[in-house]
Structure 1
Amino acid sequence: MANQLRVGFIGLGIMGQSMARNLLQAGFSVTVWNRTESKMKVVQDWGATPAASPQAVARKSDVVITIVGDTPDVEAVITGDEGVLAGAKPGLILVDMSTISPDATRQLAEQASAQGVKMLDAPVSGGDIGAREGTLSIMVGGEKDVLEKVRPLFEAMGKNIVHCGPNGAGQTVKACNQIMCGLNLLGMVEALSFAKKAGVDLEKMIQVTTQGAAGSWALANLGPRVVKGDLDPGFSVRFQQKDLRIVLQEAEQLELPLLGTAAVNQLLRSVQAQGGSEDGTHALIRVMEQLGNFSIIPDNE
């Protein structure tokens, strides 16, 4: 029954392309749309059917998945003149896997419900590696019975699928995830900086610490990239900053001080000021190199 669902997929960036491919490999029929047409061609070669608009995707689908950049982008592809809701029939399930504002998510869910469309917010964690390998963590907000209807799709893309609560809860948990990602990132680059200045072999430091209490996804996956001088984005500084902006806006509403998160936000802003907005988040090491007057990245030496 699972692969009888007709799936629409909107957003074919670093994450979306791999997620769509995993759905195709699991046997689902997938119709795709992306603002940049060339990215549709790649997925079309894997067996997907291109569509002219999000509206056209919805007309051909039982479930539509969106994963685009920011809250305004999600709103455009869902509620725009040629958006998903313009082509949706009652009974369609809309799954937004972007990372956006919890408040905006709740408002979109209300708009969808008024047209007989059920919506889940299901942001993901795991980066480009998790997307490629189908091992993403998926945090889901919305009705639990709706989640069960699309669980086979999620299982094609991820391994840790958790129902977090009503609409907006998935986005709130993703905000928590991004707080920890940011602070782990800072810890990783500070540890690498300390090791470099102290003259310790960086690869051996990573080898040992990833297996102990200090281990983290950032250290295991991004640490080796830093040592090799590979700052290509699995997840870009620009999108991390977007996520931290959402976190800090929500924290302001909650009257909650988040000192560490704010510090990471400002340090990444320095990366952006130096032209690193499209680099991977581990480009934070560039700021540490300047602050400490040393070089880790091989090209700097």
Structure 2
Amino acid sequence: MTGSGRRVGLIGVGNMGGRIGRRLHETGVEIVGHHPDPEKVRRWGLEPVDSVRALTACVDVVLLCLPDSPVVEAVVTGEDGVLAAAREGQVIVDATSALPQSTRALAAAAAERGVGYVDAPVSGGARSAPEGRLTVMVGGEPDTVAGLRWLFDAIASSVHVMGPVGSGHLTKILNNFLNAVSLAATSEVMVAGRAAGLDVHALLQVLSVSSGRNYAVETRFPSIIEGDYLEGGITVDLMIKDVVSYLDQIARQHGVSLAGSGVLSAFRMASALGYGDQINNRVVDALGDAAGGVRLHTRP
């Protein structure tokens, strides 16, 4: 048990949100969820609530795990949204990969109602969530953040307070762009190696102990070359959203854009080839398609 004595309401029960919800439930947190289809809440072992308004009215913490900022804005500020039913002292925790400027505006609107707002996006993949081994990047008022430590400790092995509200989402964008770079670049190298006649297992062994080592080499490709794409993570289209967020909201503003165009092209090609709603690791197959049908594995 967390000992918090606080009830959580989860909005967003997709691949990551659902796993976070289940983890909280299994660690003793009292939690309910909302989705237009109640069965999508029940599949994660949670009790469904009929509406955002009803959920907000019966919880202390509203946890958002949604696709992007426009969806968060609609859920929080809509006619029947969170703030329409919120009461003073509640806290909204936004685990979405969202835009910092949108987050800051929502936090200001929440503050007018006496409601706290903390951005707390996560990293670590869908396989880390059930074990409580995520990384959380937090932005918000120090006292509000400190009061949520029980929540973060239930889902994460690494919690980093990055600064005022919006700082967590800014950090997440930077992290996800670097993630996209390493995944796309490693995919290209592995496809090129296979097409040129190398054994991909031997190639990956070299990369894992050499200067080309990165997160994709260490954690993704040992599975991918066996035909396991580690389903459950973010999709190709959501990766495109994160790369565009980096390019439009950070890189160009600060004059540091260099590597982004090639990475964006790789994932956009994958989406155009029909991989958009599949896990982002499938970018390796899109690059393989462009190379004449190259696959790193023999599994169908």
TM-score (norm 1): 0.92
1:268 shift after superposition: 0.7
Distance 1:138 1:130 in 2: 12
User: Which residue in 2 is equivalent to 1:166?
Assistant: 164
- The CA deviation string for residues 106-162 of structure 1, in whole angstroms up to 9 with x for no partner, is 000000000000100111111211222211111011111111111111111111111
Structure 1 spans left out of the alignment, 5+ residues: none
Equivalences for 1:1-301 in 2 at 5 Å? 2-43=3-44, 46=45, 48-231=46-229, 232-251=231-250, 254-293=253-292, 295-298=294-297
8 Å contact kept, 1:2–1:153: no
In the aligned structure 1, how far is the partner of 2:195 from the partner of 2:187? 12
Cα RMSD, aligned residues only: 2.0
Alignment CA distance shift 1:278-1:299 (3 Å): farther
* CA shift in 2, pair 1:287/1:49, >3 Å: closer
Percent identity reads 30
Tell me how far apart the structure 2 counterparts of residues 208 and 35 of structure 1 sit (CA, whole Å).
48
CA–CA distance in structure 1, aligned partners of residues 135 and 291 of structure 2: 35
Change (3 A) 1:35 1:127: farther
Contact 1:7 1:30 (C-alpha < 8 Å) held by counterparts: yes
Amino acid at match of 1:5: R
Provide the C-alpha distance between the structure 1 equivalents of 2:241 and 2:41, rounded to a whole number of angstroms: 25
Name structure 2 gaps, 5 residues minimum.
none
* CA distance, structure 2, for counterparts of residue 27 and residue 58 of structure 1: 20
Larger deviation, residues 176-185 vs 78-87: 78-87
Distance 1:2 1:191 in 2: 49
Is contact 2:38–2:48 with CA below 8 Å preserved after alignment? no
- Identify the range of structure 1 (252-261 vs 111-120) with the bigger mean alpha-carbon deviation: 252-261
Cα deviation, residue 185, structure 1:
0.6
- SS of the equivalent of 2:18 reads helix
1:297, CA displacement in angstroms? 4.5
Note the alpha carbon deviations across 1:168-223, whole angstroms, 9 max, x for none.
11111111101210111122112312331343322233344335543333223321
Structure 1 counterpart of 2:250, which letter? A
Q: Distance in 1 between matches of 2:48 and 2:24?
A: 15
State the Cα deviation string for residues 237-257 of structure 1 (Å, max 9, x = none): 011111112111113661424
